[in-house]
Amino acid sequence: MKKHVVFPAVVLLTLALSTPAFNCTTTLTGKDASADGSVMVSHTDDGLGDPRVVFVPAMDHPEGALRPVFYESAAMGYLPEWGGSQTHRLVTDGRGPGYRNPDEPASVPLGFIPQVSHTFAYIDANYGIMNEHQVSIGECTDKAKVHPLPEPGKRIFYSAELSRVALERSTTAREAIAVMGRLIDTYGYYGTGETLLVADPNEGWVFEMAGYDLNGTDGVWVAQRVPDNGFFVAANQFRIREIREGADDMIFSANIFDAARTNGWWRPEDGPLDWARVYGDGEFHHPYYSLRRVWRAQSLVASSLDLPAWVDGPFTRSYPFAVVPDQKLSVQDVMAVHRDNYEGTEFDLTTGLAAGPFDNPNRFEGGAEATMDKQGRMTTLNGAFERPLNIYRCAYVYVNQSRSWLPDPIGGVSWIGLDRPATSVLLPFYAGGLGLPRSLEVADVLRVDRGSMWTAFNYVANYAMLKYSYMIKDIRAERGRFEARGFGGRHEVEARALALWQSGDEQGARRLLTEDSAAHADELLAAWWQLADHLYITYNDGYINTKETIAQPVFYPAWWLEAVGYQNGPQSYEKPATK
């Protein structure tokens, strides 16, 4: 049970800091900043790991029952001694059929906490998404000064399991924060620093946490309320700054000052404790890995602020905690932020030599940021590509809406897209429904499964990189068709569900929403595999192929040919002069 404790700490720390697998972006839109008065939380889960979205049903538990707390590979990388697999985060019979997998090792608990008599239904993935009471969560990983290892009896919680327990037990955002804070204080925290956005139909909060002692038995945390007219974004760096005692919009752990003093990170005479600077360690990977996304997201929704793209360091004050959007935001507006590749800016990833001849915005990362010399030795390569909001290694994206004017099972809707945002399609699913389509709950990155929604979208997105500027038009057309129907048909479907609810047929309302979402998902899955076939045939061998004419040549643009040396190709039988 404890053999992972002796795993070299430096190795795990290096793994946590170097892997890009969990570096996400998350936003929160207050009710007075949204177009319809909903509170919205969005999240991209940016890593090739377990892309499944799973429904965890409501459950009753006997008196004296214990809830297992499982290890999270999102915290420190996959460790086989804790069960599961590299492709499936949890294997257990205790959280509904979505997590049952008899063909893989069962997940091994790090520890247990007392169970409550009743737990609420929720939509789950690598982190909790939304529960049947419209409590909504988003996430991003942050670089803290200390990343403790898990250890039974000392540190058993990471943000992922914290988010799940919060959704199982909370009917408001404040309740969820209180639950997670108590769990950190009582059972300890391990892994990276974390930001969780927590919302309900009335308000939204930023909840940030970290370890501070490699051998400690608790952690530190702080929560700050997002103004109702505000838009907040976090991108792998703590965003809360000064800790203000007695403030109505801030809650924090009792040890937050003492832990900072004990570690020599802060003294009262230095002034207010700056959470991001004291407990954080700047950006992951390279400068602007986080800050560029914060700049771009805030600039997209509030261009009137004319925020600077270049700043003086990782703890800049140039970007506010939250901004007031120039116009109130819809789900589509928030999703447009996540689909962005810096188009139209000096950082535009769809232009230049690195984008290739067909404007491909995807930039593969090198892990250790090293390359081979001619003798095969690893050599450090200085430099970096810009890190966009839309990134190729995204497992799923969602925009949650919590709506106060509807009953919870109807008001809480999660617009979910599989794989990277730019080529995904948002479909509505309800945590207050009766379940999710099987196509969302099955996925394995090591197996092609035509019954898996993620596989279909990942397949198309990867194929599109061969001739991106052409194929993305086909993808957007199909995406637009499905999203127009999804958004356009919501009012009618939800009105029917509300009528059933008000007549006393609550189960009928839940069933209607569940079946409607499933029908849309089934149609989308079939259409996306058809799209894959269409792209393969239409752009086969680099041509454009139609019923009218096959093998229509599509040559490279002149600027790219010149840049890659096309003009130096053989044009005579004479050997070119050596330069």
Span 286-340, pLDDT tens digits: 999 999 999 999 999 999 999 999 999 999 999 999 999 999 999 999 999 999 9
- pLDDT for residue 187: 98
Half-sphere exposure at residue 403, Cβ-oriented, CA atoms within 13 angstroms: 22
- pLDDT for residue 234: 98
Question: What would the mean pLDDT of 433-448 be, rounded to a whole number?
Answer: 97
pTM for the model: 0.94
Taking 80 as the threshold, does the pLDDT of residue 459 lie above it?
yes
Taking 70 as the threshold, does the pLDDT of residue 356 lie above it?
yes
Sequence-ordered list of residues with C-beta below 8 angstroms from that of 43, at least 6 positions apart, any chain: 24, 25, 26, 127, 129, 137, 138, 139, 140, 197, 397, 398
Taking 60 as the threshold, does the pLDDT of residue 235 lie above it?
yes
Name the percent of the chain in helix, strand, coil, to the closest 5.
35, 20, 50
Taking 50 as the threshold, does the pLDDT of residue 183 lie above it?
yes
Query: 16-20, 54-58, 64-68: which has the minimum mean pLDDT?
Result: 16-20
Residue 21's pLDDT band, with cuts at 50, 70 and 90, is very low
Indicate the residue type of 121: A
Let me know how long the chain is: 579
357 vs 345: CA distance, rounded Å? 19
C-alpha separations of 129 from 109, 137, 166, 439, 509 in Å: 22, 5, 11, 17, 21
Task: For 337-366, give the DSSP string.
Answer: HHT---TTSTT-TTSSGGGTTTT-------
More confident residue, 571 or 29: 29
Query: 78-92, 319-333, 424-438, 527-541: which has the minimum mean pLDDT?
Result: 78-92
* pLDDT, tens only, 99-141: 999 889 999 999 999 999 999 999 999 999 999 999 999 999 9
* pLDDT, tens only, 149-173: 999 999 999 999 999 999 999 999 9
C-alpha separations of 117 from 58, 161, 167, 206, 525 in Å: 11, 18, 14, 28, 38
Residue 76's pLDDT band, with cuts at 50, 70 and 90, is confident
Domain extents for the chain? 3-378+383-465
- pLDDT for residue 16: 43
Residue 78's pLDDT band, with cuts at 50, 70 and 90, is confident
- pLDDT for residue 254: 98
- pLDDT for residue 74: 83
Taking 50 as the threshold, does the pLDDT of residue 4 lie above it?
no
Burial class (CB in 10 A: 0-12, 13-18, 19+), 168: buried
